[in-house]
């Protein structure tokens, strides 16, 4: 059953490759192994993000609306610098305040949840919707905004994982809300963007990427704890140092980026026989890199970080400092630690589902409030139910992913969002005169 699911996933990869038409080279590989990984990833010519690759049409499709102003997909230039500075401003603040906000957002959501079977990503999304709203607006999140943010972020990540199609109507509802509220944002927003672009920037970076990444990261760490009771018990003591090890080990084994890609802007000479031409698509595989240089790399072992330094190990959960790293590399771990403490203060977790990096199951898990007990017979029944349902879901989901993935690849290719955008104006990387109208309520 699981083998069949794997085959369907491999077939999906082939369809993507075929339709996008890019010839990509993945690192580390047999010739250029982990010892060359950071150097190649950091190469100054390896910084292109969108222009010149068929793959970009698909990413832009998934990240709509406003993929052209999403920081991840902007090419280097003054506009990128302006946007990157704004992101850092919004993410800045004293650690205590940022952690306290995460505790409050987690408590607010968990106050309405008495325990039971959940999908961890779904449980966490409203938490990070509230959190990111407060980062941006510096006030607590109204319920209406929380629902709109969750609706949007969930739609993006569901489409990205090919477990559902994209629904522009859901996304555009948040765009309209943010457009009405733009004047209430107390931060200095990127001046090189029009008001409509500023709305898309906030929507893409904070109400999609930030919410999705934090929710997925938390789903992974909570599921890892649910499957390693002895680690869960130690983590429940709330020691920051140990929690950091737990997070590092979770992000080592289940990095949120499977592959980060770059489009080369100039030639890169790798050795006397190999020069990559400009326009090559380079794929940097996080799981492959994270699996090298460790003893028993498949084992989930937070204690390994007692003797290792994240800086020196093959460990890049937030990317590479020299080449557009994650701007939340400081905020994310401290916010996640605070949220984790709040969850563990209230619940014991248990789960028997398969823990994979892309986690399309959204992490089914049982949360039992402290002070309540589940009889051994009932616990055995729940664990069996979770395992059996998970295996069945995996089979039908892999067919759904193949079908929907193929449909979206073709639709994205037909729309050619990135291709058209760059074809319209060669100066697009530094200035972008888009019309200032808001999107219609539904474009599909
Ligand atoms: C656990 C949480 C997170 C993880 C593990 C993570 C991981 C990463 C990684 C690996 C990259 C670099 C990918 C590459 O080289 O192409 C990245 C980029 C990025 N991340 Fe995060 N991220 C997280 C949370 C966030 C949050 C909270 C934000 C909020 C704004 C954010 C915004 C971004 C942006 C804008 C980029 C693109 C940077 C650029 O190209 O300049 N991430 N993230």
In order along its 444 residues, the chain shows pLDDT tens digits of 556 666 666 666 666 666 666 678 999 999 999 999 999 999 999 999 999 888 899 999 999 999 999 999 999 999 999 999 999 999 999 999 999 999 999 999 999 999 999 999 999 999 999 999 999 999 999 999 999 999 999 999 999 999 999 999 999 999 999 999 999 999 999 999 999 999 999 999 999 999 999 999 999 999 999 999 999 999 999 999 999 999 999 999 999 999 999 999 999 999 999 999 999 999 999 999 999 999 999 999 999 999 998 888 999 999 999 999 999 999 999 999 999 999 999 999 999 999 999 999 999 999 999 999 999 999 999 999 999 999 999 999 999 999 999 999 999 999 999 999 999 875 554 433 333 333 333 332
Q: Which residue owns the Cα nearest ligand 1 atom 15?
A: 319
6 burial (CB, 10 Å; 0-12 / 13-18 / 19+) is: exposed
Rounded to whole angstroms, what are the CA distances from 339 to 31, 104, 146, 182, 319?
Answer: 42, 8, 17, 28, 23
pLDDT of 128 reads: 98
Rounded CA separation 92/331 (Å): 8
Which residues make Cβ contacts (< 8 Å) with residue 40, sequence separation at least 6?
Answer: 27, 32, 46, 268, 270, 282, 284
Cα of 94 to ligand 1 centre, how many Å? 20
Cα of 90 to ligand 1 centre, how many Å? 14
List all residues whose CB is within 6 A of at least one atom of ligand 1.
71-72, 84, 87, 91, 205-206, 209-210, 213-214, 217, 251, 256-257, 260, 317-319, 324-328, 332
113 burial (CB, 10 Å; 0-12 / 13-18 / 19+) is: middle
Residue 141 DSSP one-character state: P
User: Which CATH homologous superfamily contains domain 20-344?
Assistant: Cytochrome P450 (1.10.630.10)
Q: Which of 214, 315, 326, 334 to mutate to test the pocket of ligand 1 (most atoms within 8 A of CB)?
A: 326
Six-digit token string for 312: 């020196």
pLDDT of 430 reads: 40
pLDDT of 434 reads: 33
Report the SS3 class of residue 41.
helix
Q: For residue 286, which atom of ligand 1 is closest to its CA?
A: 10
* Residue carrying the six token digits 């909570």: 222
The angle, 0 to 180 degrees and rounded to 10, between the axes of the packed helices 95-110 and 120-137 is 130
Q: Which helix (H) or strand (E) holds 350?
A: strand 347-350
Characterize 185-224 residue by residue with b for buried, 16 or more Cβ atoms within 10 angstroms of its Cβ, and e for exposed: beeebbebbeebbbbbbbbbbbbbbbbbbbbbbbbbbbbb
pLDDT of 54 reads: 87
Cα of 326 to ligand 1 centre, how many Å? 4
pLDDT of 15 reads: 66
- pTM for this one? 0.94
Cα of 130 to ligand 1 centre, how many Å? 19
pLDDT of 20 reads: 60
Cα of 258 to ligand 1 centre, how many Å? 13
């Amino acid at each position: 059953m699981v083998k069949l699911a794997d085959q369907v996933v491999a077939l999906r990869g082939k369809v993507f490759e075929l339709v996008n038409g890019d010839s990509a080279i993945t690192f580390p590989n047999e010739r250029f192994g982990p010892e060359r990984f950071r150097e190649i990833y950091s190469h100054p010519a390896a910084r292109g993000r969108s222009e010149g690759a068929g793959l970009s049409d698909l990413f832009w499709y998934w990240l709509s609306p406003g993929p052209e102003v999403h920081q991840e997909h902007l090419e280097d230039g003054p506009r990128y610098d302006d946007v990157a500075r704004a992101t850092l401003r919004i993410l800045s603040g004293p650690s205590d305040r940022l952690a306290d906000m995460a505790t409050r957002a987690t408590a607010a959501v968990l106050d309405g949840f008495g325990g039971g079977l959940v999908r961890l990503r779904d449980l966490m999304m409203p938490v990070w919707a509230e959190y990111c709203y407060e980062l941006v607006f510096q006030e607590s999140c109204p319920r209406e905004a929380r629902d709109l943010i969750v609706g949007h972020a969930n739609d993006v990540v569901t489409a990205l994982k090919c477990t559902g199609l994209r629904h522009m109507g859901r996304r555009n509802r948040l765009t309209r809300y943010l457009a009405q509220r733009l004047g209430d944002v107390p931060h200095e927003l990127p001046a090189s963007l029009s008001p409509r672009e500023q709305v898309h920037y906030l929507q893409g970076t904070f109400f999609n990427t930030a919410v999705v990444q934090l929710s997925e990261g938390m789903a992974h760490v909570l599921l890892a704890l649910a499957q390693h009771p002895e680690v869960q018990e130690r983590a429940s003591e709330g020691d920051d140092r140990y929690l950091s090890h737990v997070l590092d080990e979770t992000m080592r084994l289940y990095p949120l980026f499977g592959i980060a890609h770059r489009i080369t802007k100039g030639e890169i000479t790798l050795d006397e026989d190999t020069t990559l031409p400009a326009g090559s698509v380079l794929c940097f595989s996080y799981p492959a890199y994270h699996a090298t240089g460790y003893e028993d790399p498949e084992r989930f072992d937070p204690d390994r970080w007692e003797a290792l330094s994240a800086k020196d190990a093959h460990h890049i959960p937030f990317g590479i400092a020299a080449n557009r790293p994650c701007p939340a590399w400081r905020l994310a771990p401290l916010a996640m630690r605070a949220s984790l403490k709040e969850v563990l203060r209230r619940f014991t977790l248990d789960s028997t589902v398969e823990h994979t990096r892309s986690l399309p199951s959204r992490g089914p898990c049982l949360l039992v409030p402290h002070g309540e007990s589940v009889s051994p017979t009932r616990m055995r029944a729940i664990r069996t139910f979770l395992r059996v349902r998970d295996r069945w879901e995996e089979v039908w989901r892999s067919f759904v992913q193949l079908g929907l993935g193929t449909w979206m690849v073709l639709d994205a290719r037909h729309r050619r969002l990135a291709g058209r955008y760059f074809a319209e104006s060669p100066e697009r990387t530094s200035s972008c005169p888009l019309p200032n109208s808001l999107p219609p309520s539904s474009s599909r």
